[in-house]
Amino acid sequence: MSNFRNYSPLDHVIMGFEAIITSSRTPKNADLRPNPAKSITPDALSEGEKAKSAALMRVNHAGEVSAQALYQGQAMTARTPMVRETLLCSAREEVDHLTWCQERVTELGSHTSYLEPAWYCGSFSIGVIAGVMGDDWNLGFVAETERQVVRHLDTHLGRLPQSDHKSRVILEQMRKDEGHHASVAIEQGARELPVPVKKLMTFCSRIMTGTAYYI
């Protein structure tokens, strides 16, 4: 079980600010799963293909920074230990995704988003609000977020250059994990979010993904 629950709300706020500074880096002593693309020999990509793949993986890395912030904010304000642990378990898998995306962006000779602190702060705030509303709403927010992430990954899998097998394998594993997170949240009593809330989430996601593609 996680030691997260032994900290006070103030401790989590302080750790949250520290995470803003280190949001793009893998936490120390993190127990990571192997990168699913590690054993794949990369195919030759043109400069244009590399640039496109790098931009897409930069967006996915920014999404993982946001996911860390969301889960930390939600876990901080969760009402019950069970929900808190569910959020933290999902967050640990998101650290894997964060690392895999960062490694792939680096391999493609590019950089992660320069706006990571903004993505982190905004997502952390949303996570805190979701948790304050109650565990059923908190889980509902997880389920809807992950549904939207799965659709987003489907889009990226269709946009990747056909020869970029390394990025594809990473995104396929991420898609599988995100779908599992949504299923767990639903099983634990997630409430279906109102349509206007879902549309607002989609709108905010488009702003982040559209901006991170370039910056």
Q: Are the beta carbons of 2 and 85 closer than 8 angstroms?
A: yes
Read off the pLDDT of residues 24-82 as tens digits, 9 standing for 90 and up.
Answer: 455 554 567 899 998 888 778 999 999 999 999 999 999 999 988 888 888 888 888 88
Exposure on the CB side of residue 20, measured as CA atoms within 13 A: 16
CA distances from 76 to 73, 128, 186, 193 (A): 5, 7, 20, 21
Q: How many CB atoms lie within 10 A of CB 105?
A: 24
Q: Which of 91-95, 157-161, 184-188 is predicted with the least confidence, judged by mean pLDDT?
A: 91-95
Mean pLDDT of 183-211: 91
Domain that holds residue 77: 47-212
Please indicate whether residue 25 or residue 91 has the higher confidence score (pLDDT).
91
Our count of domains for the chain comes to: 1
The Cα–Cα gap between 119 and 209 comes to: 10
15 in any annotated domain: no
82 in any annotated domain: yes
Q: Is the pLDDT of residue 200 over 70?
A: yes
Question: What value does the mean pLDDT of the chain take?
Answer: 85
User: Minimal CA–CA distance to 143: which of 209, 187, 200?
Assistant: 187
Mean pLDDT of 78-105: 88
Give pLDDT, residue 213: 92
The secondary structure of 159-176 as a DSSP string is HS-TT-HHHHHHHHHHHH
pTM (predicted TM-score): 0.83
39 in any annotated domain: no
Give pLDDT, residue 99: 92
Please indicate whether residue 9 or residue 140 has the higher confidence score (pLDDT).
140
Rg (the chain; Cα; Å): 17
Read off the pLDDT of residues 100-126 as tens digits, 9 standing for 90 and up.
Answer: 999 999 999 999 999 998 989 888 988
41 in any annotated domain: no
Q: Is the pLDDT of residue 23 over 70?
A: no
Give pLDDT, residue 69: 87
35 in any annotated domain: no
Give pLDDT, residue 6: 53
Q: Is the pLDDT of residue 190 over 50?
A: yes
Q: In CATH, what number is assigned to the domain containing residue 194?
A: 1.20.1260.10
DSSP code of residue 111: -
The amino acid at 116: E
203 in any annotated domain: yes
The Cα–Cα gap between 30 and 82 comes to: 22
